[in-house]
């Protein structure tokens, strides 16, 4: 393994200075250390431990927003009783992640910035498109875990359950970029992966996720995922939905799918269709049709289309309290 320095940053400015384009931020380490040990990313000159950065490990709330610091762990999301009441979808997404041991150390920032799980990307001897090679081996190979939608040749999907849920909750990631706070919607946070096979997200070198802000405008949220294994596994497909539900009628509805696209998959036409509707099975099914319109299944992942359809329908009915 390439030798590297290790430093603990005590301020966000020093963290950025230490990383300086040639280093990597180390949070819980679940993803980063595996990538380094398997030689999947160019070895950084310095690992900058960010776990001591002040103020980033808090969950704060006011009337309009909840603010989740980037160093809040997935277990802290899972165990916050008030959060489970206000954002049940986020609570349910957190509970499904990996295992209790991983949730205890995995952070919100690290979850959002985790790299592709594509098994060709994760194979150290395969120089795939995502690692600067010429070919997406999954396209004509083993693609059962891959995307139904993409804007480029790489078909590796985003797998962050929190990213998918934050998208449905219309949350904003606040990122320290060039010394200034930059606000990114979840669509912004991942859009570069839509168009550029080398990208896992839109973060620039040195960008530091500080926190995620979630508006409280929607009083209901729900999340469901289906995985091969009941626990300790990523989703084959995940679905998050949020809306303000009054008298059974939806306003400001948002639905997002994970593990089917390099970005959390959202379709404005489906959100518009659901707006003002009283949910029933037929409405939920029509919304699912709109969300999955244009899906381009490959040889081994066509099962994701009916799976996603069912998940969307069930997640929407759960939003209403019926599933």
The reply on whether position 109 binds ligand FAD by CB under 6 A is yes
The reply on whether position 172 binds ligand FAD by CB under 6 A is no
The reply on whether position 77 binds ligand FAD by CB under 6 A is no
Q: Which among 82-90, 93-101, 134-142, 265-273 is the span making contact with ligand FAD, rule CB under 6 A?
A: 93-101
Please, which residues bridge with residue 258 across strands? 238
Least distance between ligand FAD and beta carbon 15 (Å): 9
The reply on whether position 208 binds ligand FAD by CB under 6 A is yes
Q: What's the rounded Cα separation, in Å, for the pair 200 and 18?
A: 22
Cα three-residue angle 273-278-284, rounded to 5 degrees:
55
Least distance between ligand FAD and beta carbon 102 (Å): 5
Which one-letter DSSP state was computed for residue 73? B
* Token output for 126: 């395969």
Describe the chain by its helix, strand, coil percentages, rounded to 5: 30, 20, 45
Please spell the DSSP secondary structure of 13-54, one letter per residue: HHHHHHHTTTEEEESS-TTHHHHHHTT-SPPPSEEEE-TT-T
The reply on whether position 45 binds ligand FAD by CB under 6 A is no
The reply on whether position 167 binds ligand FAD by CB under 6 A is no
Nearest position to ligand FAD, beta carbon: 110
The reply on whether position 264 binds ligand FAD by CB under 6 A is no
The reply on whether position 161 binds ligand FAD by CB under 6 A is yes
Q: Which of 59, 84, 86, 98 is close enough to bind ligand FAD by CB under 6 A?
A: 98
Which residues 5-24 are close enough to bind ligand FAD by CB under 6 A? 24
Q: Which of 26, 256, 279, 287 is close enough to bind ligand FAD by CB under 6 A?
A: 26
The reply on whether position 110 binds ligand FAD by CB under 6 A is yes
Instruction: Spell out the residues 6+ positions from residue 255 whose beta carbon is closer than 8 angstroms to its own.
Output: 168, 239, 240, 241, 266, 267, 270, 271, 274, 287, 291, 312, 315, 316
């Amino acid at each position: 393994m390439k030798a590297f320095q290790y430093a603990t940053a005590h301020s966000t400015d020093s963290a950025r200075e230490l990383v300086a384009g040639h280093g990597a931020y180390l949070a819980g380490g679940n993803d980063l250390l595996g990538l380094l040990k398997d030689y999947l990313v160019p070895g950084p000159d310095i690992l900058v431990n960010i776990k001591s950065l002040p103020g980033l490990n808090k969950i704060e709330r006011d009337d309009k927003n909840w603010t989740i610091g980037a160093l809040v762990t997935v277990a802290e999301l899972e165990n916050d009783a008030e959060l489970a009441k206000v954002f049940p979808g986020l609570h349910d997404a957190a509970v499904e992640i990996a295992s209790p041991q991983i949730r205890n150390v995995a952070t919100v920032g690290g979850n959002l910035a985790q790299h592709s799980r594509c098994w060709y990307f994760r194979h150290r001897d395969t120089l795939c498109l995502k690692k600067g090679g010429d070919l997406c081996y999954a396209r004509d190979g083993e693609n059962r875990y891959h995307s139904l939608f993409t804007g480029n040749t790489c078909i590796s999907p985003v797998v962050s359950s929190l990213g998918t849920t934050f998208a449905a909750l219309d949350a904003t990631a606040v990122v320290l970029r060039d010394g200034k706070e930059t606000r990114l919607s979840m669509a912004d946070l991942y859009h570069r992966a839509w168009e550029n096979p080398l990208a896992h997200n839109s973060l620039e070198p040195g960008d530091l996720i500080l926190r995620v802000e979630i508006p409280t405008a929607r009083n209901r949220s729900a999340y469901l995922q289906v995985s091969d294994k009941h626990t300790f596994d990523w989703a084959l497909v995940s679905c998050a939905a949020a809306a303000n539900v009054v008298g059974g009628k939806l306003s400001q509805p948002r639905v997002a799918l994970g593990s089917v696209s390099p970005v959390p998959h959202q379709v404005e036409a489906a959100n518009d269709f659901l707006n003002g509707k009283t949910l029933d099975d037929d409405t939920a099914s029509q919304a699912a049709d709109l969300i999955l319109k244009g899906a381009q299944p490959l040889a081994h992942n066509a099962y994701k289309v009916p799976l996603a359809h069912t998940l969307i329908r069930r997640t929407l009915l759960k939003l209403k309290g019926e599933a």
